[in-house]
Amino acid sequence: MKIISTNISKIKTVVYNGKEVKTGIFKTPTNEPVVIEKLNIIGDEQADLVNHGGVDKAVYAFSHNHYDYWRRMLANEDLTSGIFGENFTISDLDEANIHIGDHIRIGTALLEVSQPRVPCFKLAIALNNKNSLKLFTQYYCTGIYFRVIEQGVAKTGDAVTIEKKAAHKISVKKLFQAFFDKKYVGYEDVLLEALTLPELAVEWQEKLKKKLAIKVESAK
């Protein structure tokens, strides 16, 4: 794996459904090295600090390999690196083979996989497609959020390596699909196992508890 593109953005204000929306999703490539700190990347801004950035979502990466699929699916050949709001567009980043708690070296920084990405309405703004949220969720490959174990510097072309694999079987894709796919067989077992993982982001721990509680209530 390697960094195909490093992407950052300042906060912008756009009009969506007749209302002004502040967002940092419009990320564009930079040729300069970026500094990865505990809560974010220097020079990259988030408008909604409740749902973006912070310890468990300091860095977001998306696979370069998914781009051809989305160009076909959205009938848009103009999709360029950063359009999904990712800080790093990385070759061969496979959500099915990367697990919650894996340690991944990006440039000189050491990151830990914390959760899948759940798309919000701002992705539809960036892609200019109102159906993109549904399509994105159904694809189950939504990119990866990381927390920062060791701060560092990264730039386009740097190697991306897995330095430590988690001992369990809960991949980023498996967790996301078990949560959202109503036909996923054995999803409760996946979610229950995921809840035992201390590396799982607090936000997702709460999501799983809520979903499992609803399941328990409906079974009574």
pLDDT digits (tens, 9 = 90+) for 177-198: 999 998 999 999 999 999 999 9
Write out pLDDT tens, residues 89-100. Answer: 999 999 999 999
pLDDT band at 220 (very low <50, low <70, confident <90, very high): very low
Question: Tokens representing 49?
Answer: 């600090």
Write out pLDDT tens, residues 144-171. Answer: 999 999 999 999 999 999 999 999 999 9
pTM of the model: 0.94
User: Is pLDDT at 52 greater than 80 in this prediction?
Assistant: no
Distance (Å, whole) CA 47 – CA 64? 25
Q: What is the pLDDT of residue 87?
A: 97
Distance (Å, whole) CA 18 – CA 128? 15
Other Cβ atoms within 10 Å of 199 Cβ, number: 18
Q: Which of 178, 172, 203, 182 is nearest to 192 (CA)?
A: 178
